[in-house]
Amino acid sequence: MAGSSRLRVGAVPSRFQWIRVHVPAPRLSALERSNSRLGVDDRPPESEVVEDLSVCTMDHDYAARPLSCALENALQYIEEPEDRLQAMSVGSSNIFGRFCVSDETIRYYTRFPSQQVFEIFWESIAPSAKHLIFWTKAQRMGEEASATPSPARKIQLIDELFIYCLCVAAGLKEQVIADICGVSIATVSRIIITWANYLFFVLGSVPIWMSRQQVNDSMPQKCREYSPKVRVILDCTEVRCERAISLTLHSETFSNYKNTTTTFKGLLGVAPCGAVTFISSLFTGSTSDKEITRKSGILELLELDDEVMADKGFVTEEMLAAKGARPFKKGKQTRAVARLRILVERVIHRVKQNHIWDSTVPLSLAGSINQIWHNCCFMVNYQGPMFLESE
């Protein structure tokens, strides 16, 4: 090939490290050659060079000595990982932070009205939730389970609560939740049952029954005019469950009202201000409203001169006479009294907005259905007042 050079046959290297070879000096730039001809020296003084070098050396702290308290701060930072995680925002969790990005999504997935209300609720239960033990372990160990420390969890506690809300508030099936969260169906089932019972015990310890003075102070003005002595408004509602295989249980869950064999019934008590003040256990659908009122324990909470507002078939004068209470007699019908009568129905509507009640509750949750019912009713008090006077 023309213009190319090839290595001659038999040639060997002649330049080695120990042989001094003349290396030409690097060619100066055009500016440097011009300054050299004119005798101009534009290099900075040595003092400036030294100063610049000192500035450059301060850019990095590889050789800098740490502060005297740095080691103690680092050790404290390492020894308190749980406290740091607890102090982090709830939005930083893997699952909860991915789905609950606004007040609207929080309302859909958890039924809490806003992130602020959810954070207030979470901060109130987080200290005790750190000691949670899965119900399967509690069943195996019995009373000894409470004495053993809680094991490390693969899922953050805030995300476990969110999984419970996905089942109850959003009404998602266990298979869907397992796919979303990347866990097994068995793990989802354990979390739901564990949190249903935990929230039931925690929320059940909160006294929600209002004193006579509290009812009077929070009573709307129209109610004071037409029903000043009403202490509580009662109503029952029904929830559906899967058809039982047992013939005995099959007959007990029969409901005359729904004409079906898959119902449980619960009693709710609401104060005139719209707050839930009484939650009964669930009874089988064959139990009458009057019998539920008698067995629920609401009569023991009434006092002298209290009036109870309810539909026919719930209470009678004989039932309330022992406490000196009496059923509310509407007398002259007014819009204020009519609104007060439907107040409990609106509260029940809020309870039923938890989508777990949209379809039949599976029998796998039969052991926790009473706890879930109580938790849903209690959570209504976090959704704010009804504002009946302004409607």
Q: How is 180-238 classified by DSSP, letter by letter?
A: HHT--HHHHHHHHHHHHHHHHHHHHTS--PPPHHHHHHHS-HHHHHH-TTEEEEEEEEE
Fold of 212-382: Nucleotidyltransferase; domain 5 (3.30.420)
What is the average pLDDT across 340-346? 86
CA distance 195 to 201: 10
The reported pLDDT for the residue numbered 244 is: 60
Q: Quick one: residue 181, left, alpha or beta (phi over 0 = left, psi -120 to 50 = alpha)?
A: alpha
Phi, psi of 50 (to 5 degrees): -65, -40
- Residue 157 clears pLDDT 60, i.e. is over it: yes
- Tell me the percentage of the chain whose pLDDT exceeds 90: 41
pTM above 0.85, yes or no: no
Mean pLDDT rounded to a whole number for the chain: 79
Query: At 372, is the pLDDT very low, low, confident or very high (cuts 50, 70, 90)?
Result: very high
What SS3 state is found at 56? helix
CA distance 53 to 137: 65
CA distance 16 to 313: 112
Angle at 97 between CA 95 and CA 98, to 5 degrees: 65
Structural domain boundaries in the chain: 85-204, 212-382
Instruction: Supply the Cα-derived Rg of the chain in whole angstroms.
Output: 37
Instruction: List all residues 6 or more positions away from 227 whose beta carbon is below 8 Å from its beta carbon.
Output: 272, 307, 309, 328, 336, 337, 340
The reported pLDDT for the residue numbered 225 is: 82
CA distance 237 to 289: 10
How many CB atoms are located within 10 Å of the residue 349 CB?
Answer: 12
The reported pLDDT for the residue numbered 73 is: 66
- Could you read off the pLDDT of 135-144 as tens digits, one per residue? 666 655 555 5
Query: At 78, is the pLDDT very low, low, confident or very high (cuts 50, 70, 90)?
Result: low
What is the average pLDDT across 20-26? 65
How many CB atoms are located within 10 Å of the residue 377 CB?
Answer: 25
Q: Classify residue 43 by burial, with Cβ atoms within 10 Å: 0-12, 13-18, 19+.
A: exposed
- Could you read off the pLDDT of 183-229 as tens digits, one per residue? 999 999 999 999 999 999 999 999 999 999 999 999 888 788 888 89
The reported pLDDT for the residue numbered 251 is: 47
